[in-house]
Structures are given as C-alpha cells and as structure tokens.
Structure 1
C-alpha cells in the first residue's frame, strides 16, 4: 500500500534559528505573517530576510489579512516563489486577481465556527474558491487565527472536492487524530501549525517542531 505523505506547513516565524529548525525537521512550507495586529507579525523586509534561509523545495508562504493589492505585490517582489495565503474576508475575485497579477498560487482560509462547525458550508466555500490551490481550515477566533483553538472536525462534510489544509490548535499530541478525521474527506490533506510548536507567540520551540513532524509521519505510516 502506498503511504500518503501529508505536507506540513509551519507558520508565524520571526527568528532565523526557528526557520532553520523547521527546514531541518522536514517542513514543506514556512509561513510569515504580514498582518500588523498579529503578535507574530513581521515586516515585508524581515520576511524576505527569513525566506532567504529556506533551502530548495521548502516554500515560503506570505499570510495576508484584508490587505491592499499594492502591498501584496510589494511582498511578492521581495519574496521570490512565495505562496499567498489570504486569511481575511477576501473575495474569490480578489484572490484570483492577485494570483494572476503576481503569478503565485494562493491558499484561502475558511474560518470555521468553534461551536457551530456544522453550519459552515465548506462545500460551497470550496466551490466559490475553486481557483485556490487549497482551502485552509482554521478556527474562527478573534484576531484572524493563531489562537490555538480546535474546531470540531467531525462536523465537517464527509466529502469536499478540494485540497484541504487542516489548521487551528494542532499540536504533536493531536495532529494524528486530525489527519485520520479529515484525510478521507478531501482530495488531499496537508496540516498547518503555529501555536502548537511555540514557547511563546512567534517564538518556536525546536523540540516541538521535531515532535510535530514525527507525529505527522507516524500518522502517515499508520494509514
């Protein structure tokens, strides 16, 4: 039986050593938050510096929340090869226009209510954002993510015609459960972690980074 390899994105990096630890541990993508109110925020210039540390085939991801087209273009010019992540209230038309203007693929975050996940129409959301490379599932919290909250995975639709990225409150302890719950429901499944590998907001823990990757790989091997 072929083992499905779950892609791993780690987000909210602010320090060189943490970026290097993520790449060394086996992360497929490393995210930089360009949303000023976030405690994990970095400037475009800082994101560019950190992205230069990434080896080949580890993708930088730039996270935006309701940002301007001009600033998105500036960030793309500064960070070659970055994937765009739209984590706010951006319309499908805006996301698609920015992908076309920058030549970069994009992810669109679906903010799933913590207490009423079943009422969120993920099938419809994926349909209207069908030009996205993947739909990122995050808990709907104040501050647009990074709150370390987990929504009820079991309440999501049994089948979604999209590539999904599971986010929101993932840790080395629960990521395998998330993979088992969501992989059968999507075209493919990746995972995204931020607070679950931190010693403090924006300050990653190298051991937690390694443990997270090991937990994902164990889940893959058990599937």
Structure 2
C-alpha cells in the first residue's frame, strides 16, 4: 500500500514524511492555498531520494507549461485535476495521474475513458479541484470499477477513516492533504500517525 502526502511546501516537512515512510509527495501548482512556487519546489525535489514519487498537481494547465515545470523541477508524475480529455492525457511521455471528482455513480464511467495507468478518485469539487477534505460515497464503487488501473484513493481521508477505506476499497495508493493538517498547515504528528495506520492496516489485509 503506497502513501502520498499532498500539498507539501517546505523541505523539512518533505524530508520528515519520507522518513516516516511516504512513497510520494504532491506539489501543487494550481490555484490553491497549498500552491507552491518554483524555487521552493526545486529545493524540495533536490533533497528527496530517487525512489520518492514527485507529483506535480495541475488544473487545466497547458501541456507546454506542465512539461517546462516538470523538467525544471524534476517531477516524475503529473496529476491532472481539471477538464483534461483522454486524448490530451495521451500526448505526454511521462506518467499521468488523472483525477476524477466522484459525486454520482455515473462519474465512475469516466474511468474507462482515460488511458492513464493511474486514476485518482477524489471527493466532490469544492472551491478548489482537490484538497477540499470531503470524501465521496465509497458505496458507489463496485469491484468492476476497480479493474486494470492503479487506483489512488483521495478525498476526506484521515487517521480515523483510512483503515476502513483500505479494507473496503484496497487501493493502490492513498492520498491525503487536509486530513493531516492543523489550522491549514501540515501537522507532522498527524502525518506520522496516518502513515503508521496505513502500514498496519495494509499488513493486516495481506
């Protein structure tokens, strides 16, 4: 079970979450209270081990700008939270994670349309396209929805509900942002507890 902590904005937090056992960090370049500047992102990625996924989060950005940012910073994946089409996602050479906001059952039909290896299932859209801290109804997911893709579960996850999420859905990765924050800032104690809960639950599920 892989773990991604999204919305990282400084080197010390990034290094701490890797030490705790996170597999991926998310750097937000879209309109968000967690948006990061290029200089800070470069400093973070420079300090991270090679095995850590460095995911850039974008919303309706141009292909040219995303590729420029990815090259300058050293991103390994692009996570797209906007209205990007399946055809657009196919134009990239690097791995794409397509995020889908789930509110109704028919939102899951989009899974089949995208060629991306990884699909992120997020909560309903709020002020921002991600990081709103709201879970979708996990009962909407059926086993047939979860075939042939690497699913990343996001939206409203925190230490108290991630065990149930893993047991019910068994995703490839869990992704958390607001669920490990206190007063809008990343809380290292919450991050550590979240990661420990995920790892314990994953072992129990084997």
Same fold (TM over 0.5): yes
CA separation in 1, counterparts of 2:25 and 2:167?
23
User: Could you tell me which residue of structure 2 aligns to residue 139 of structure 1?
Assistant: 123
The answer to whether residue 50 in structure 2 is matched with residue 63 in structure 1 is no
CA separation in 2, counterparts of 1:50 and 1:81?
11
User: Could you tell me which residue of structure 2 aligns to residue 3 of structure 1?
Assistant: none
User: Could you tell me which residue of structure 1 aligns to residue 204 of structure 2?
Assistant: 222
The answer to whether residue 100 in structure 2 is matched with residue 110 in structure 1 is yes
Write the deviation string for residues 72-94 of structure 1: whole angstroms up to 9, x where unpaired.
Answer: 01111112242110011101111
CA separation in 1, counterparts of 2:86 and 2:60?
12
Secondary structure of the 2:90 match is helix
Write the deviation string for residues 123-178 of structure 1: whole angstroms up to 9, x where unpaired.
Answer: x3222112x12100001222101110011101112222221000001001111111
Whether the 8 Å contact between 2:29 and 2:35 is mirrored in structure 1 is yes
Q: 1:190 aligns with which of 173, 177, 180?
A: 173
Q: Mark the CA change 1:217 to 1:163 in structure 2 (over 3 Å): closer, same or farther.
A: same
User: Could you tell me which residue of structure 1 aligns to residue 17 of structure 2?
Assistant: 22
The answer to whether residue 84 in structure 2 is matched with residue 90 in structure 1 is yes
Q: Mark the CA change 1:191 to 1:24 in structure 2 (over 3 Å): closer, same or farther.
A: same
Whether the 8 Å contact between 1:45 and 1:78 is mirrored in structure 2 is no
Which TM-score applies when normalising by structure 2? 0.93
Which TM-score applies when normalising by structure 1? 0.86
Q: 1:169 aligns with which of 124, 141, 156?
A: 156
Write the deviation string for residues 14-73 of structure 1: whole angstroms up to 9, x where unpaired.
Answer: 1222111111101000010001x2000012332122111211201110001000122101
User: Could you tell me which residue of structure 1 aligns to residue 182 of structure 2?
Assistant: 199
Q: 5+ unaligned residues in a row in structure 1: which ranges?
A: 1-5
Q: Mark the CA change 1:20 to 1:200 in structure 2 (over 3 Å): closer, same or farther.
A: farther
Write the deviation string for residues 161-216 of structure 1: whole angstroms up to 9, x where unpaired.
Answer: 22100000100111111111112xxxx52100000111233x21111111011110
User: Could you tell me which residue of structure 2 aligns to residue 43 of structure 1?
Assistant: 37
The answer to whether residue 137 in structure 2 is matched with residue 155 in structure 1 is no
Q: Mark the CA change 1:129 to 1:182 in structure 2 (over 3 Å): closer, same or farther.
A: same
Secondary structure of the 2:47 match is coil
